[in-house]
Amino acid sequence: MLLQSKIQYKHYEPGEFTSIAERTLAEAEELINTYPWEAQRYHQPIGFTSPSISFRNMEGDHLKLALGYNQKFNLYLFPAQQKPRKKTVADLESAIKDVRDFYHGNELEGFKQERFVFNPKKHFETKSFEYQVTPKRAWAFSWFRLGFFTLLTLYFPIYEGTAFAFAAFFPFWFVFAGVNLIFLINYWWYERDTIIKITAGQDNFWISRNGNVLHYNKKDVKEIRYYKSPGNRNPWSDNIIIELILRDGQALKFTNLLIPFYTLLGKFQNTPSNCIDKAFPFAR
């Protein structure tokens, strides 16, 4: 029987896997026995996303073999449409017995339900990590900037109920919401044909513009520069231009509409960043 299996290493983020393939039970056992468990233990937090090997059967159930505390191993069982369960075993051979039962479709025993796990699916299912501008992303980027400030600036005119009040408060709307709308349109137009695929755990990434895909390596990025309007109280200070400065002098430019700024920073653990003040950081 073939089941899908996949690997996570240190510094991988939820949904990031490698070596994804259909494997027999014998191949799965070899994968487990040759995985560098002890090397991956050093300074590594324990949890659903950690150095591990995951398996998925035809019914959509997931079993993840991961590191545990005190030289032990954790098994995380995530049956389809149910809550995740956990079991701790003393050694690798005990864990392999559960993997065998999972392959043969036998009932797994000794698992206890894990409570208060928000969105457990993200720890088991593979994510593409392709970032692009979609209606969902545009909404997440702009709902507060536009919606909240629009409601705020309309409150007093509606309360007063006069045409003069509406006219008087239009400049406030433009400063608090209108400028952010201009940024949204500018960033969307700049990124409308751009995709970036990048993960936290792997060095290689690529950027596609107008269908032209270029591949890069994080080790070639010497600095992250980002341009934003100074002042935390500035209504448009959350609009950011990002540049990845390569060692050859090339700058890879995109906006935080394409990928959230702190999401990107989390994928470059050891790369210095430099903030440059710019009153209106438009994309072009």
| pLDDT tens digits along 63-78 | 999 999 999 999 999 9
* Structural domain contains residue 235: yes
Q: In the numeric block, which tokens belong to residue 251?
A: 């700058």
Q: List, for residues 27-71, the tens digit of each pLDDT value.
A: 999 999 999 999 999 888 899 999 999 999 999 999 999 999 999
Domain membership of residue 29 (yes or no) is: yes
Q: How far apart are the first and last CA of the chain?
A: 55
Q: For residue 50, which of 106, 118, 100, 123 has the smallest C-alpha distance?
A: 123
Is there a domain that residue 283 lies in? no
pLDDT of 156 higher than 70: no
Q: Are residues 138 and 207 in the same domain?
A: yes
CATH code at 179?
Answer: 2.30.29.30
Residue 161 lies inside a defined structural domain of this protein:
yes
Say if residue 158's pLDDT is above 80.
no
Q: Do the beta carbons of residue 31 and residue 83 sit within 8 Å?
A: no
Which amino acid does the sequence have at 169?
Answer: F
Full domain range(s) for residue 107: 3-123
**Burial (0-12, 13-18, 19+ Cβ within 10 Å), 165:** middle
Over residues 174-188, the pLDDT tens digits come to 877 889 999 999 999
Total domains in the chain come to: 2
Please name which of 94, 14, 24, 86 lies closest in space to residue 55, comparing C-alpha atoms. Answer: 24
Residue 134 predicted with pLDDT over 70: yes
**Contact partners, residue 275, CB within 8 Å, separation at least 6:** 225, 226, 227, 228
> In whole angstroms, what is the distance from residue 71 CA to residue 151 CA?
55
